[in-house]
Amino acid sequence: MEFLSYLISGISLGSVYAIIALGYTMVYGIAKMLNFAHGDVIMVGGYLSYYAMFSFGLPWFVALPASMIVCACIGMLIERLAYKPLRQAPSLAVLITAIGVSYFLQNSALLIFGANPKTYSNPFQSVNPDGSINAGISLFGGQLTITYVSIVTIISCIIIMLALNFFTSKTKMGKAMRACSEDKGAAQLMGINVNRTISITFAIGSALAAVAGVLLCSSYTLIQPTTGSMPGIRAFTAAVFGGIGSIPGAFLGGLLIGIIESLAKAYISTQLSNSIVFAVLIIVLLVRPAGLLGKYVPEKV
């Protein structure tokens, strides 16, 4: 029963990583860049939803889409101002710019919201008539509790996965995105506006980061300017683990990293959990350098 509970919390954590990893992997697939500022967009989404819910008193189902929309705009703005001018620049310049944007977001948050962590009350729970908090479903006579946050997180992840799968395989825009990720020149010859496609990719990735921000803050019930850093790095690991550029890879990588982290914390050592996650990553990359689902398509000449 204990194991089941750790597994579920691992899946829930992994679902958040998967949602974040999608942002990394989609941007990498199309713009061929590592957007290290992605983790900080999670934090921005967290703060936006924090103020929407606790200052304006909006319910979570209004606050969430609102912060998704604002984050999507911020993502497009970052791309337009920081990355687009570097389209032809060497990738190292783009990478350093991304790190710069990351610091910029963190320090802006520090300036605007202050360094003190704020309490983010979990919107996915209810208060019982007797005043106690009902945070989840109790199973097996109270031996196993699944929190509503976990349930919402896992369901969100599944919905996002299905929606993205539909988007990239059935819609014209989604297919154009895949075309751009393969060959931008050829995509332009088809009449696809590559700049706009990149912009839309950033918008989708950043909107997903906002979802991750709400879910993450709801389960940790805290928010501070560095909230996005560590989950961002773990999710990046997850994206590489699954095969960067691959959407199913991001899901698989996210879930596995979440589960490994949770089980390692439970059964081996809390302090060592990061080392264990990265050790597994190194081993996987030694065996499969392109990641678990990373594609290698032989090209015929």
Partner 1 sequence: MGEILRVDNMNVYYGAIHAVKGISFNVNEGEIVTLIGANGAGKSTTLQTVSGLLKSTTGDIRFMGESLMHVPAHKIVEKGLAQVPEGRRIFLQMTVQENLEMGAFVRGNEGIEESLENVFEQFPRLKERRTQIGGTLSGGEQQMLAMGRALMSNPKLLMLDEPSMGLAPILVEQIFDIIKELHKRGTTILLVEQNAQMALSVADRAYVLETGRITLSGTGAELAASDEVRKAYLGG
Does 193 contact partner 1 by CB under 8 A?
Answer: yes
Instruction: Return the structure tokens found at 247.
Output: 């959407």
Among 8, 48, 187, 207, binds partner 1 (CB under 8 A): 187
E-assigned strand segments in 217-289: 222-223
Contact 5, 13 (CB under 8 A): no
Does 190 contact partner 1 by CB under 8 A?
Answer: yes
Among 172, 270, 271, 286, binds partner 1 (CB under 8 A): 172
Distance CA 238, CA 28 (A): 13
Using alpha carbons, select from 17, 81, 22 the residue that is nearest to residue 201.
22
Q: Which is nearer to partner 1, 168 or 218 (CB)?
A: 168
Does 88 contact partner 1 by CB under 8 A?
Answer: no
State phi, psi for 134 to the nearest 5 degrees: -100, 100
> Could you tell me the sign of the dihedral formed by the alpha carbons of 247, 38, 254, 16, in that order?
negative
Q: Which is nearer to partner 1, 89 or 279 (CB)?
A: 89
Q: How many residues does the chain have?
A: 301
x-or-dash pattern for partner 1, window 242-281, by CB under 8 A? ----------------------------------------
Q: What residues have CB less than 8 Å from 174, skipping those under 6 apart?
A: 166, 167, 168
Q: Closest separation between CB of residue 206 and partner 1, Å?
A: 24
Does 90 contact partner 1 by CB under 8 A?
Answer: no
Segment contacting partner 1 by CB under 8 A, of 85-93, 114-122, 192-200, 252-260:
192-200
Binding site for partner 1 (CB under 8 A): 172, 175-176, 178-179, 182-183, 185-194, 295, 297-301
